[in-house]
């Protein structure tokens, strides 16, 4: 029953998050959500054999649609948090074009946003890791008991994902 509630809430949260950003941050994040979902579709298709998902509405084998869409939400949050951290720590009003320091903030934001979501979803039983295929052996992060490789994987993904999202967000919203 918990998984059904989580799955239903996951679909409900999509328009709520879009509306919250539009209302309070004065930011249309539809393009970010679409671009992030494109990365999610690739990621879920490419890694499908490594996890067993336990949700109902699937689009490819046992890969749930909400996971693909959830990547859009995650990347929206990562880009937002990264940009806020960048501006706060570097005392800027906005990201300077071609400033490579944004990569550091993307990785930090990815660790702050994605890893807790990964941990919560794994603990809720939305998926189980296929340990027989992963061969992860770096150890686990104390307290949360999550594999170090998951955190490292998110860090690597954040080196390219948020840049892709920033590049495509406006065109996907119909702008330049």
pLDDT tens sequence across 55-111: 999 998 999 999 999 999 999 999 999 999 999 999 999 999 899 999 999 999 999
What's residue 2's pLDDT?
A: 82
When pLDDT is averaged across residues 21-50 and rounded to a whole number, the result is: 96
Per-residue pLDDT band at 3 (split at 50, 70, 90): confident
What's residue 175's pLDDT?
A: 72
- pTM score of the predicted model: 0.93
Q: According to the 3-state scheme, what is the secondary structure of the chain?
A: CHHHHHHHHHHHHHHHHHHHHHHHCCCCCHHHHHHHHHHHHHHHHHHHHHEEECCCCEEECCEEHHHHHHHHHHHHHHHHHHHHHHHHHHCCCCCCCCCCCHHHHHHHHHHHHHHHHHHHHHHHCCEEECHHHHCCCCCEECCCCEEHHHHHHHHHHCCCHHHHHHHHHHHHCCCC
What's residue 10's pLDDT?
A: 93
148-165 pLDDT tens trace: 999 999 999 999 999 999
Residue 129 confidence (pLDDT) above 80: yes
- Residue closest to 14 by CA, chosen among 30, 35, 38: 30
Q: How far apart are CA 35 and CA 95, in angstroms?
A: 19
Average model confidence (pLDDT) for the chain? Answer: 94
Residue 65 contacts residue 56 (beta carbons within 8 Å):
no
């Amino acid at each position: 029953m918990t998984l059904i509630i989580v799955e239903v809430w996951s679909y409900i949260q999509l328009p709520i998050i879009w509306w919250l950003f539009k209302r309070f941050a004065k930011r249309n994040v539809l393009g970010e959500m679409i671009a992030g979902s494109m990365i999610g579709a690739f990621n879920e298709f490419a890694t499908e054999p490594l996890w067993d998902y336990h949700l109902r509405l699937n689009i490819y084998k046992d890969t749930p649609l909400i996971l693909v869409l959830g990547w859009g939400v995650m990347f929206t949050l990562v880009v937002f948090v990264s940009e806020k951290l960048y501006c706060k720590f570097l005392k800027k009003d906005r990201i300077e074009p071609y400033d490579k320091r944004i990569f550091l903030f993307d990785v930090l934001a990815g660790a702050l946003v994605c890893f807790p979501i990964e941990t919560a979803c794994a603990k809720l039983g939305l998926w189980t890791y296929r340990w027989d295929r992963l061969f992860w052996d770096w150890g686990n992060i104390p307290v949360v008991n999550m594999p170090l490789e998951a955190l490292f994987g998110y860090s690597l993904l954040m080196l390219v994902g948020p840049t892709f999202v920033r590049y495509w967000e406006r065109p996907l919203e119909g702008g330049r």
